[in-house]
Amino acid sequence: MTRPVKEAKRRRPLSIRALQGIGVSPGVVAAIVVVFKRQTLRAGWYHLPAEHIEKEVERFAGAINAAGDELLQLREKLAGDLADALSIIDSHLLMLRDRMLVERTIGIIRHSNVNAERALAQALSEIKERFDRIDDPYIRERFSDIKHVADRVFGLLSGREHSPLTGEDQPVILVANDFSPEDTLRMQEGNVHGFLTEKGGITSHTAIVARSLGLPAVVGIEHATSLLATGDFIILDGGSGRIILDPAPADIQRVRKSNRRDRLLADELDSYIHLVSETVDGFPVQLSANIETLAELPTVLRFGSEGIGLFRSELDYFNNRQPPNEEQLAATYQQLLATMAPYPVTVRTFDLGGDKFFNRFPGNKAWLDRERNPALGLRSIRFSLYEQTMFRSQLRALFRASVHGRLRILLPLISALAELRQVKGIVDEVLDELAGQGHPVAGDVAIGMMVEVPSAVAMADVFAAEVDFFAIGTNDLIQYSLAIDRGNQYVAHLYEPYHPAVLRMIRQTVEAGHARNIPVSLCGEMAGDPLCAPVLMGMGLDELSMRPAIVPKVKRLLRHCHSDELRRMAQQMLQCGDCDQVRSLLARELANLYPKEYYQG
């Protein structure tokens, strides 16, 4: 990596109190910021006399070899459970043999009689031009890996040592335009408690390494290196992607205490893992897990979830150049269902578009990146109905896998009855097709819908007669009901789960579902907030689905609650006029009823 320079100047309007990025590695940390601005290491352009050319080629080859040695050393240091990181380093080692990078640089040195740095910069810019012409954002993102590798070679050519990422004694959160996967691995050596970057996405290799290390991380915050300055204090939430700037001392205390408690109470929480999730008076609430990959299954089982309340199936579509085929998907879903059996697994059909940006497969039109308002555009179920071949292939794979466990299929962003009926028509056709082809299908596959737009809430009584279950998606429901773009940093402070309108919509959905005897779950971030969970339980939700590691915390709280108290508390919240009132009422009630450590943090 090029030598980072700590940046101490901040250019941030004081009104900005929070930033919103993409949470790519969960965990909440409060710490001081260290901003890194990369120094450009490109040496000047100079011509060389003919007799020095071969020496220059040798110097370049030496830097390439040294870069390879560095990567190999790093690889050796890695623990065996960091398989993802190992394969990323291997791909970087391969790039050090890439023709377009290495041979092209040598060619430029020889034909233009220029120094290695200049030749490498030209080769890199030619590669970038090619990548820029690619529509596919996933492939375009791979250029960042080539750049990280080239930066390493630039550093070696200039003879600069890697500076430590931080020499601080106190815990820090690193901020930069981008970090390479190798930078992220090196963060283990420093006192780094999290990082945030301007570039990157959920599928970037840097994000993958952060998740393997359990290092909280947020990416995609534009201008982060200008908005923040070394010495700022922030709270970073690697799950929700939210950054709180200059947090109140009470909030910092809350995060720190909760981190300390997390460590201290890990043993105590372990004792809840195998207990039933029910209130003191035997009122059950199912606690399930939200996951995106099969790799998370061991964690789900370790923390005692009683099923998967939300399997976000998008990642298979992001990680491949082609849409995954039916066989691949069926194998994935079979493993998912079989591992979790006899617990239920709720697979949401792909929720592409909107904030889960996607326009990559051949044949797809370039319309998605031209949408003016993607959150209100061709996303989720609308996209599935537009690209029906892909949708049918996923449904076929799901039904084929259904015989291996207990499958529930969840449809995202349903906003009108006609839309739901169209999907049900497709499901019937797919089932007929599979029967005709002799594929066995489980007879008890439940079909449910996400309730995440206000029209679905208003019509919940009608929808309840048409589906087997409801799953309330508050992440989107808050966005659409309060008109707050969930990914927009300028309005992030208005994104308010405790808004009484949101609470009332949840309650209305639960009542509509129960009137028709269908179960209602909630799988937005709210479900895993220990402050919120009691209110949600009091509203009568049958299931809360959250990140797997939070399950024991919520279970412990639940097992100390009395269902009457929870119902009374929820009833009071529903009468509140604004979020501040909800919060203070909640804080008061919980403080009266339970020990603080049960619901804080």
- Residues classed as catalytic: 205, 523
Shortest distance (Å) from residue 528 CB to ligand PEP: 11
CB 536, CB 502: distance < 8 Å: no
What part of residues 428-457 is at the interface with Mg ion (CB under 5 A)? 452
Shortest distance (Å) from residue 474 CB to ligand PEP: 5
- The answer to the question of residue 312 lying near ligand PEP (CB under 6 A) is yes
Cis peptide before 342 (omega within 30 of 0): yes
- The answer to the question of residue 473 lying near Mg ion (CB under 5 A) is yes
- Structural Rg of the chain based on CA atoms: 26
Shortest distance (Å) from residue 317 CB to Mg ion: 16
Give the residue, chosen from 178, 183, 232, 476, that forms a contact with Mg ion under the rule CB under 5 A: 476
Which residue number has the CB closest to Mg ion?
A: 476
- The answer to the question of residue 543 lying near ligand PEP (CB under 6 A) is no
Three-class DSSP category at 102: helix
Give the residue, chosen from 183, 316, 351, 543, that forms a contact with ligand PEP under the rule CB under 6 A: 351
In the DSSP assignment, the letter for residue 342 is: T
Give the binding range for ligand PEP (CB under 6 A) out of 167-175, 265-273, 424-432, 468-476. Answer: 468-476
Considering Cα of 51, then 54, then 59, then 60, what sign does the dihedral take?
A: positive
- In the list ligand PEP, Mg ion, none, the entry touching 7 (Cβ below 5 to 8 angstroms by class) is none
- In the list Mg ion, ligand PEP, none, the entry touching 474 (Cβ below 5 to 8 angstroms by class) is ligand PEP
Shortest distance (Å) from residue 457 CB to ligand PEP: 13
Give the residue, chosen from 475, 508, 572, 581, that forms a contact with ligand PEP under the rule CB under 6 A: 475
Which residue number has the CB closest to ligand PEP?
A: 473
Which CB atom, from 278 or from 355, has the smaller least distance to ligand PEP?
Answer: 355
Q: What sections of 214-248 are H helices per DSSP?
A: 224-227
Shortest distance (Å) from residue 412 CB to ligand PEP: 7
- In the list Mg ion, ligand PEP, none, the entry touching 524 (Cβ below 5 to 8 angstroms by class) is ligand PEP
Three-class DSSP category at 308: strand
Three-class DSSP category at 341: coil
- In the list ligand PEP, Mg ion, none, the entry touching 232 (Cβ below 5 to 8 angstroms by class) is none
* Residue that has been written with the tokens 């797809």 in this structure: 364
Which CB atom, from 145 or from 237, has the smaller least distance to ligand PEP?
Answer: 237
Q: How many residues would you count in the chain?
A: 601
144/151 Cα distance (integer angstroms)? 10
* Residue that has been written with the tokens 């390879």 in this structure: 68
Binding mask 434-453 for ligand PEP (x = CB under 6 A): ------------------x-
Residue (of 30, 39, 4, 492) closest to 222 by Cα position? 492
Q: Is 426 exposed, middle or buried (0-12, 13-18, 19+ CB in 10 A)?
A: middle
Which CB atom, from 315 or from 537, has the smaller least distance to ligand PEP?
Answer: 315
Which CB atom, from 332 or from 474, has the smaller least distance to ligand PEP?
Answer: 474
Sequence-separated (6 or more) residues with CB below 8 Å from residue 411: 348, 349, 381, 420, 423, 447, 448, 449, 450
CB 506, CB 525: distance < 8 Å: no
Residue (of 379, 310, 354) closest to 485 by Cα position? 354
Give the residue, chosen from 1, 523, 541, 573, that forms a contact with ligand PEP under the rule CB under 6 A: 523
9/20 Cα distance (integer angstroms)? 21
Shortest distance (Å) from residue 362 CB to ligand PEP: 26
Which CB atom, from 88 or from 544, has the smaller least distance to ligand PEP?
Answer: 544
Which CB atom, from 173 or from 450, has the smaller least distance to ligand PEP?
Answer: 450
- In the list Mg ion, ligand PEP, none, the entry touching 523 (Cβ below 5 to 8 angstroms by class) is ligand PEP
Give the HSE-up count for residue 533: Cα atoms under 13 Å, Cβ half-sphere. Answer: 33
- 289 token code pair: 């897990």
500/63 Cα distance (integer angstroms)? 61
Give the residue, chosen from 200, 473, 497, 552, that forms a contact with ligand PEP under the rule CB under 6 A: 473
Sequence-separated (6 or more) residues with CB below 8 Å from residue 357: 137, 368, 369, 374
- In the list Mg ion, ligand PEP, none, the entry touching 534 (Cβ below 5 to 8 angstroms by class) is none
Give the residue, chosen from 524, 528, 534, 538, that forms a contact with ligand PEP under the rule CB under 6 A: 524
- In the list Mg ion, ligand PEP, none, the entry touching 28 (Cβ below 5 to 8 angstroms by class) is none
Residue (of 306, 235, 203, 234) closest to 558 by Cα position? 306
CB 38, CB 228: distance < 8 Å: no
Give the residue, chosen from 117, 387, 476, 542, that forms a contact with ligand PEP under the rule CB under 6 A: 476
Give the HSE-up count for residue 379: Cα atoms under 13 Å, Cβ half-sphere. Answer: 23
Considering Cα of 465, then 469, then 471, then 472, what sign does the dihedral take?
A: positive
- The answer to the question of residue 529 lying near ligand PEP (CB under 6 A) is no
563/284 Cα distance (integer angstroms)? 9
Which CB atom, from 22 or from 523, has the smaller least distance to ligand PEP?
Answer: 523
Which CB atom, from 232 or from 351, has the smaller least distance to Mg ion?
Answer: 351
Which CB atom, from 232 or from 525, has the smaller least distance to ligand PEP?
Answer: 525
Residue 31, number of CB atoms within 10 A of its CB: 23
287/272 Cα distance (integer angstroms)? 12
- The answer to the question of residue 513 lying near Mg ion (CB under 5 A) is no
Shortest distance (Å) from residue 498 CB to ligand PEP: 15
- 565 token code pair: 């108290």
- 348 token code pair: 């949401």
Give the binding range for ligand PEP (CB under 6 A) out of 231-239, 273-281, 470-478, 511-519. Answer: 470-478
What part of residues 533-572 is at the interface with Mg ion (CB under 5 A)? none
Q: Which residues bind ligand PEP (CB under 6 A)?
A: 310, 312, 351, 452, 473-476, 523-524
